[in-house]
Amino acid sequence: MTGGVLRAERAMYWEPPDAHEALAGRSARRGLSWLPVVVIVAAQAYLSARLVHLSPASPDESLYIYAGHQLIHELWHGGGSPYYETYFSGAPDLYPILAAMADDFGGLVAVRLMSLVFTLVAAGLLFATTRRMFGYWPAVTATALFAGLGVTDGVGVLATFDSLSLLLIAAAAYCGVRAAEGRQTAARWPLLIPVVLLAANAVKYASILFDPVVIGLAALQLEREGWRRVAQRLVALSAATAMLLLVSALLAGGAYIEGIMYTTLNRPTGVQPAFAVLKTDGPVELIRESWDYIGAVVTIGVLAVPIAFFSRDERRKTFTLALLVVAGMLVTIEAIHLRTDMSMSKHDDFGAWFTSMAAGYALTRLAQITFRRHVKVLLAVVSTTIAVLCGLCYSDSTLVGDQSTSWSALLPTYAYLRPYLELPSGRDLLGSQLASQIIYVDDPGIRWYQYSDDLYIKYPIAGRGGNASGSISGAACWAVRPGCMYLEGSAGYTAAIRAHWFSLISMLGSDGTSQDAAIVAAVKSTPGYVLLTTSGGAPTWIYAPDYGGTTGAVVPAGGYSHDVRAG
């Protein structure tokens, strides 16, 4: 009798669902089994929600939400294209529009809470995926480890592409595991994998790094049927996914392909996708940084491989566990290749989602193979303690502060500049960070074609038929040549400034790009531009005639008066 109860317990909590579905379905204990998951997800929600008001909108958050509003406006009213697709790291027609809709409903808080919902669902999918592969308690432990990570809490409150893409990657992995159930309906799940991966990759291009992991995970579920079946599924899913991605990119057009190549597939090493060479990081520094985000989870996950290999009845899971561990290292490896830590903190959460499954398996496997109740209790306490300690250690490594510039430091200068931004027919050149935050946080009514940042410009060459919004199609070049309608890069900034195209030029919050030197040189050598202020540690100039002055007192829109010589 006792042995039967123990076998029932083992079937209930340790074996994957296929082995005990009938037993679990009729047991009232099944409802209680969700209680730990609910507690974990509630804790995750608290850890993220406490960060919602921690900082104002970061430059990235501001840009994406503002871009969504502009795209919606252009959809209904026309007026050209902002060409976000040429430099966004995800399709601008997806997440930014969704974020703008949430912003209309409840502001930045609503957008951030939407990200929280995405990560909570991803945590739920982690539990469901792990349970189907390794059992109940490994799934609970994996979910606890993932929920306690600071990068998870940070991604869950940032209004960026990452949370939605993570959710879709998690959904694709879940589809891959469901495809191994051996039922008639299971044949439909593999058909969803390429489609869901396409959606994840479209939302965030960098998520393509985890496509092989999802496909490999789906293929390894057929290991019991032999390696030939594994290879067949691997080839079929890889071919279908690659074909779908290629066709979608071709249908999207050249601008999307340009953005995908520049931000993801063809990024030069040491260069961030912002037309600038920023700091280059060494391998040791990058590994240390990644350790600060997910190091403990990866370390515990590595232990799962030898545990499975030396367990005779679990050896077939070795390859699956090894794949999950490698997934946690992919972002660090790619960062070492690119020699930059850009977005590594956010992308590491994708890898942690997979490696948490291996870590959960490692922490609970010893309890799984013993029937001694006191040993189970001891090992359960040890596993729970480790999971809690990991959560305490990593929960403070949040992303919100890292992603947001010190808006409070910009406020005095911004309050001074605010009236100059209200010139109805004016155009402004704003440092990238200042631009994205001003146009969203305070919303001075600047349309996308009324400002440029120091990252990109598309200046219509006089007399060649182009316009400020770029709605008239024509070639864009980096230097004046026959057939070019628009100028980009340093040549574009220089030509625009010499033509007095901008009413206000501020380097406050600039990205330190190679084009900044050209901007400063052009302003200093162009008559009519005067230094307004150096407040905030960067110069701001105005074209005095646009404000009714020359080099003396200037009266901006709104009736405020400042002395341009006082800066």
Q: In this structure, are strands 428-430 and 504-506 parallel, antiparallel, or unpaired?
A: parallel
DSSP string, 214-283: HHHHHHHTTGGG-HHHHHHHHHHHHHHHHHHHHHHHHHH-HHHHHHHIIIIITPPTTEETTTEE-----H
Q: What's the rounded mean pLDDT across residues 25-46?
A: 75
The mean predicted confidence, pLDDT, of the chain is 80
Average pLDDT for residues 55-81, to the nearest whole number?
A: 81
Query: According to the model, what pLDDT value does residue 475 have?
Result: 82
Q: At what angle do helices 373-394 and 136-148 cross, to 10 degrees?
A: 20
Of 95-99, 257-261, 350-354, the one with minimum mean pLDDT is: 257-261
Q: Quote the pTM value.
A: 0.84
Half-sphere exposure of 3 (CA within 13 A, CB side): 0
Token readout for 510 is 């600039």
Please give the Cα distance from 163 to 168 (Å, whole number). 9
Please tell me which residue, 181 or 563, carries the higher pLDDT value.
181
**Residues 307-330: tens digit of each pLDDT:** 888 887 788 889 999 999 999 999
- Mapping DSSP to helix (H, G, I), strand (E, B) and coil, where does residue 20 land? coil
Q: Nearest to residue 544, comparing CAs of 554, 559, 557, 558?
A: 554
How far apart (Å, rounded) are the C-alpha atoms in residues 69 and 248?
Answer: 24
Which two structure tokens, joined as six digits, stand for 382? 């040890």
Range from 429-433, 469-473, 555-559 carrying the lowest mean pLDDT: 555-559
Picking from 545, 550, 494, 547, the residue whose alpha carbon sits closest to that of residue 520 is 494
pLDDT at 49: 85
pLDDT, tens only, 125-152? 999 999 999 988 899 999 999 998 888 9
What pLDDT does 25 receive? 47
Taken as a whole, the chain contains a residue count of 567
| Burial classification of residue 12, based on how many CB atoms lie within 10 Å of its CB (0-12 exposed, 13-18 middle, 19 or more buried) | middle
d(CA 342, CA 338): 9
| Cβ neighbours around 374 below 10 Å, total | 8
First to last CA, the chain: 88
Rounded-to-integer distance, Cα 79 and Cα 502, Å:
20
pLDDT band at 553 (very low <50, low <70, confident <90, very high): very low
- Please state whether beta strands 529-533 and 504-506 pair in parallel, antiparallel, or not at all (unpaired): unpaired
Residues 6+ apart with CB under 8 A from 562: 416, 532, 553, 554, 556
Using CA atoms, how far apart are residues 267 and 172, in angstroms rounded to an integer?
A: 26
Least trusted range by pLDDT, from 249-253, 270-274, 452-456, 488-492: 270-274
Percent of the chain at pLDDT above 90? 29
Residue 531 has pLDDT above 80, yes or no: yes
Position 199 confidence tier, pLDDT thresholds 50, 70, 90: very high
Chain-centre distance of CA 464, in angstroms? 39
Of the pLDDT bands very low, low, confident and very high (cuts 50, 70, 90), residue 391 is low
Torsions phi, psi of 428, nearest 5?
-125, 145
Range with the lowest mean pLDDT among 212-216, 354-358, 557-561? 557-561
pLDDT of residue 566: 33
Residue 14 and residue 368 in contact, taking contact as beta carbons nearer than 8 Å? yes
Residue 272 has pLDDT above 60, yes or no: no
Question: Please, which pLDDT band fits residue 103 given cuts at 50, 70 and 90?
Answer: very high
Which of 49-58, 160-169, 215-224 bottoms out in mean pLDDT, i.e. has the lowest? 49-58
> In whole angstroms, what is the distance from residue 373 CA to residue 359 CA?
23
DSSP per position, 173-206? HHHHHHTTS-SSGGGGHHHHHHHHHHHHHHH-GG
Buried b / exposed e over 412-440, threshold 16 CB at 10 Å, is: ebbebbebbbebeebbbbbbbbbbbbbbb
**Digit-coded pLDDT (tens) for 437-479:** 777 776 656 777 787 888 778 889 888 888 877 778 788 888 8
Q: How far apart are CA 306 and CA 204, in angstroms?
A: 34
Tell how strand 529-533 and strand 540-543 pair up. Answer: antiparallel
pLDDT tens by residue, 215-247: 999 999 888 888 898 999 999 999 999 999 999
* Sequence-ordered strand ranges (E) for 6-95: none
pLDDT on residue 273: 42
pLDDT at 21 over 50: no
| Least confident piece of the model among 6-15, 187-196, 224-233, 276-285 | 6-15
In this predicted structure, the answer to whether residue 1 has a pLDDT above a threshold of 80 is no
Rounded to the nearest angstrom, the gap between the alpha carbon of residue 297 and the centroid of all alpha carbons in its chain is 20
Question: What is d(CA 38, CA 495) in angstroms, rounded to the nearest whole number?
Answer: 59
Closest CA to 503 of 564, 535, 546, 456: 546
Written as one string, the DSSP assignment of 513-552 is -TTHHHHHHHHHTSTTEEEEE-GGGS-EEEEGGGGT-SSS
Backbone angles phi, psi at 372, to 5 degrees: -80, 120
Cα–Cα distance, 330 to 178 (Å, whole number): 24
pLDDT of residue 244: 95
pLDDT band at residue 197 using 50, 70 and 90 as cut-offs: very high
What pLDDT was estimated at residue 52? 82
User: Where along the chain do its domains lie?
Assistant: 1-14+21-32, 34-402, 407-566
Checking if the pLDDT of 20 tops 50, the result is no
Distance CA 452, CA 469 (A): 11
Find residue 475's DSSP bridge partners.
484
Residue 542 and residue 504 in contact, taking contact as beta carbons nearer than 8 Å: yes
* Alpha helices, DSSP H, located in 253-406: 254-260, 283-309, 318-338, 344-368, 373-394, 400-403
Q: Are 429 and 452 in contact (CB under 8 A)?
A: yes
The HSE-up count of residue 1 (CA atoms within 13 Å, CB side) is 0
